[in-house]
Amino acid sequence: MIPFSILDLAPVTEGSTPAESFARSLDLARHGEALGYARYWLAEHHNMPGIASAATAVLIGHIAGGTSTIRVGSGGVMLPNHAPLQVAEQFGTLASLYPGRIDLGLGRAPGTDQPTTKALRRYYAGADAFPSDVMELLRYFEPAQPGQPVQAVPGAGLDVPVWILGSSLFGAGLAATLGLPYAFASHFAPAAMSEALALYHRDFRPSKHLRQPHAMLALNVVAADTRAEAQRLFTTQQQSFVRLRRGAPGLIPPPIDDIEAFWTPAEKAMVAQSLACSVIGDPADVREGIAEFVARHRPDELMLTANIFDHGARKHSFALAAEAMRG
């Protein structure tokens, strides 16, 4: 059995508030901790009414403070939106408060639209500086040297594992070059997954951070007591994807009985391609689907995500998924 974890976007469902979303996220993290999940990661998004994890480091502190053993981190912090020093200080603070439990996953995309990108970091001109920003950030976690003009306080000398996230070959190549662990966003952009994994393993250079390649894949898993109920629950995620592509992202919608009446054939094909790495069904379906995915792609870890409207159904899905992971 490989380690398995939870990716959470702190969804804001129709009829609820961000405050309620944060309470549900903490409840889910405690649930995941009890079920044996290894990590609980939160992802940075902006200007999206249905996702409340914009202030990712703040929310990580909330989750870490309410749990005791599960690792908590970012999946990820979108580094082009931030100065590397600020990220080092934030995660140095988190690592000081919760030693041995904080992960820092870094992404190259802004995680939002163009106007919001400009509002976040007004001098942002693209993600070309991402590799140098990552290296600068890594240096801030090194022990401070005499006469060093700028240091992260706290941050310097702390053990904060840094992951490179990606959905293309770029992140795979950078993670390999720097000798860092790599997490691929196969839960929404699976097209380059196999090629990216092959490149990462082929070009990996051992470093002081990591002796051999370590890759994590993300997988949508929606489990319920029956296959029909799981498929119905999955319509929440399908609707959300279509609304995003229509340019009308909103609060997370409840499931619907007839998804075919909601989308066009082109939208259906787009969703099927984007969410190809999904396991939907009853306990037997989920056990078989996860085992097949792991056997085919051989990740070192698995990150599970489930955009389910009802909180109780979401917790139940993660419980069934944990049972499936354990065989």
Residue 127 is predicted with a pLDDT of: 66
| Cβ neighbours of residue 193 closer than 8 Å, sequence gap 6 or more | 184, 186, 217, 277, 297
Residue 125 is predicted with a pLDDT of: 59
| Cβ neighbours of residue 63 closer than 8 Å, sequence gap 6 or more | 25, 26, 29, 40, 42, 72
Residue 87 dihedral angles phi and psi, to the nearest 5°: -65, -40
CA distances (Å), origin 201, targets 19, 72, 173, 195, 293: 41, 26, 9, 10, 18
Q: In this structure, which amino acid lies at residue 240?
A: S
Residue closest to 39 by CA, chosen among 122, 118, 123, 100: 100
Nearest-5° angle of CA 57, CA 301, CA 43?
25
Residues in the chain: 327
End-to-end alpha carbon distance in the chain = 8
Residue closest to 308 by CA, chosen among 244, 215, 210, 232: 232
pLDDT averaged per 10 residues, the chain (length 327): 96 98 98 98 95 97 98 95 95 98 92 76 68 96 95 97 96 98 97 97 98 98 98 98 93 98 97 97 98 98 98 98 93
Residue closest to 223 by CA, chosen among 293, 282, 276: 282
| Cβ neighbours of residue 325 closer than 8 Å, sequence gap 6 or more | 1, 4, 290, 302
- DSSP codes, 165-208: EESSHHHHHHHHHHT--EEE-TTT--TTHHHHHHHHHHH----S
Residue 115 is predicted with a pLDDT of: 82
